[in-house]
Amino acid sequence: MNNIFIDVDYAQIYKHGQKIGGDVFLLSRNPENNQIVATLSDGLGSGVKANVLASLTAHMAHKLSFSQIALEHSAEIIMDTLPVCKERKISYSTFTIADIRYKDGMENIEVNLVEYDNPAALRFSGTKELKWDRTKTELKREAAFKKETISYSSFEMEYGERLIMFSDGVTQSGLGKSLPLGWRLDGVRKFIKDEISANPDISSRELSRAIVQKACALDGFSSKDDITCVVVYIRRPRRTLIVTGPPFTKEADEILGEKIRAFDGKKIVSGGTTAQIVARLFNKKLKVDLSCWSPDVPPASTMEGIDLVTEGMLTLSKVVSALEKKENVADMPNDPSKKFVEILLDSDQIHIIVGTKINEAHQDPNIPFEIGIRRTIIARLRKALEENYIKETSVEYL
Amino acid sequence: MADNTVKVELCMGSSCFARGNSSILSAIENYISENDLSDRVELEGHLCLGRCNSGPHVAINGKEYSALDEDCIVDLLKKELE
């Protein structure tokens, strides 16, 4: 697995009173092409009309970025395709496209950035702001109602760098309320610096959330516009190991122990018998914690050196179904499956070691079907993590 | 623990849990709270004890029981508490 992770996340607050946003953010990861495309578009106005404009723009920008068409040409196509507003007689939607490509092993992360009328994106390496050159091109479309300038730039991103993009709802927050001219780019810049210096490893999710919440606060908690912020952060991946099932042969127990010891990251053991094997290998005490369980999920146990010890198949089934349904973690019952899901969602890369020994007792037709085939459930777990949560997963059998 | 406490051990392995120890544990917990017996009953969970085919397994003061339902177990606990 890669030792570099591209953490992309965003946060958004709609204009006060609106149920739908005029800011639209799209993110696609295409691991086969080693490409990630993040598009932020702000449609004219707010509410439904703006959402239609912004969605059209974002989707077009997105699709065109994955095609062979040059970005400049793409931008013209987008502008010519947008419907014209009846009142204002213009078709208009801003966009920022970050087309991120990398070589195998996450080396040479290259970004092609196209910006049209959104506030300028910012780059930071740690707390230090990075400046870079942009090439400006005038579109000169016939139907244009004003001078249309698009800026292009391309640069490499290194470990520890961040690229931060936002809509004008961020820079104009506080306008006429707490601040005469709004928060402005300088204010946002300073806030980001302070946030990073207070928490150097702040994740993209947390940083984007902090920025939009601050903007909303400046608007007196009644946002004047849609507020959206996107953060791209190049960092080390957070890793989790799941061990489930006893190894096929007893001789492989030692190998399992070595693999758990050598793993750098969070460790989950899922399976009572497996946990007993690990406890024996590590010479640690296992204790069943009867305070945390539900009618569907048996209690967890505690063991020094392992972050979470759960029962196997029933717990895994619950975890998988929660991930497949994209259940909100906060709404899950307070049982071991909830802790399990929380750890997985906080990880970027999940490695699973599946022991292949068959439990005779589980071949009984009288017990629930969930206690069935470990491999099937692991396949579903990986699919849900990869497709619903864009996690990297790997598996090995022992 | 005082001498008059009763120790209840339950197997919390997948098979025993699915075969009935989930509801047995609930039933015991309810019985304890309804009768304010938390000082007199000590609950302990075990991982798989390796006798899955005849579960659910429960032991009350060291006496082992298998394949019983929650009513039986609560009755046995009552008797032990007398």
Rounded to whole angstroms, the Cα distance separating A8 from B70 reads: 50
One domain for residues A255 and A351: yes
| B52–A366 C-beta distance less than 8 A | no
Of A185, A211, A235, the one marking the end of a domain is A235
| B46–A359 C-beta distance less than 8 A | no
Instruction: Take residue A199 and report the two structure tokens written for it.
Output: 């928490």
Give the total number of structural domains in chain A: 2
pLDDT of residue A17: 85
One domain for residues A104 and A155: yes
One domain for residues A132 and A258: no
Of A202, A235, A268, the one marking the end of a domain is A235
pLDDT tens sequence across A204-263:
989 999 999 999 999 999 888 899 999 999 998 899 999 999 999 889 999 999 999 999
What CATH number does the domain containing B56 carry?
Answer: 3.40.30.10
B-facing residues of A in 54-93 (CB < 8 A) are: none
> Do A99 and A49 touch, CB atoms closer than 8 A?
no
Position B50, amino acid: G
One domain for residues A181 and A33: yes
Rounded to whole angstroms, the Cα distance separating B11 from A233 reads: 46
3-state secondary structure of A338: helix
Residue B81: inside a domain, yes or no? no
One domain for residues A149 and A223: yes
Percent of chain A with pLDDT over 70: 92
* Nearest CA-CA partner of A185 in A154, A221, A211, A157: A211
ipTM over 0.85: no
Predicted confidence (pLDDT) at residue B32 exceeds the cutoff of 70? yes
Rounded to whole angstroms, the Cα distance separating A106 from A108 reads: 7
Instruction: Take residue A111 and report the two structure tokens written for it.
Output: 């970004």
pLDDT of residue A362: 65
Residue B82: inside a domain, yes or no? no
Interface test with A, best of B7, B9, B11, B14 (most A CBs within 10 A): B14
pLDDT tens sequence across A360-387:
666 666 655 555 578 889 999 999 999 8
What CATH number does the domain containing A170 carry?
Answer: 3.60.40.10
One domain for residues A225 and A279: no
- The sign of the dihedral angle between the CA atoms of A214, A218, A221, A227 is negative
pLDDT band for position B2 (cuts 50, 70, 90): low
Q: Calculate mean pLDDT across residues A52-69.
A: 85
pLDDT tens sequence across A122-164:
999 999 999 999 999 887 766 666 777 888 999 999 999 999 9
One domain for residues A255 and A379: yes
| B17–A311 C-beta distance less than 8 A | yes
One domain for residues A207 and A323: no
Residues contacting residue A98 through CB under 8 Å, at least 6 positions apart: A37, A38, A39, A111, A112, A113, A121, A163, A165, A230, A232
E strand intervals along chain A = 5-13, 23-30, 35-43, 93-103, 107-116, 122-125, 128-130, 135-138, 149-157, 161-166, 227-235, 239-244, 266-270, 287-288, 301-303, 306-310, 349-354, 392-397
One domain for residues A213 and A288: no
pLDDT tens sequence across A325-339:
988 888 899 999 999
Q: Pairing mode, if any, of strands B6-11 and B41-46?
A: parallel
Range of the domain at A117: 5-235
A-facing residues of B in 4-23 (CB < 8 A) are: 12-15, 17-19, 22-23
Mean model confidence pLDDT for chain B: 88
Q: Which residues of B touch A367 (CB under 8 A)?
A: 15, 18-19
| A298–B12 C-beta distance less than 8 A | yes
Give the total number of structural domains in chain B: 1
pLDDT band for position B49 (cuts 50, 70, 90): confident
By CB neighbour count within 10 A (0-12 exposed, 13-18 middle, 19+ buried), where does A337 fall?
Answer: buried
pLDDT of residue A64: 85
Predicted confidence (pLDDT) at residue B1 exceeds the cutoff of 50? no
Instruction: Take residue A127 and report the two structure tokens written for it.
Output: 């707390």
Position B36, amino acid: D
Can you say how many angstroms the Cα of residue A149 is from the centroid of all Cα atoms in its chain?
31
Range of the domain at B28: 7-76
A373 and chain B in contact, CB less than 8 A: no
Nearest chain B residue to A366, by CA: B19
One domain for residues A93 and A228: yes
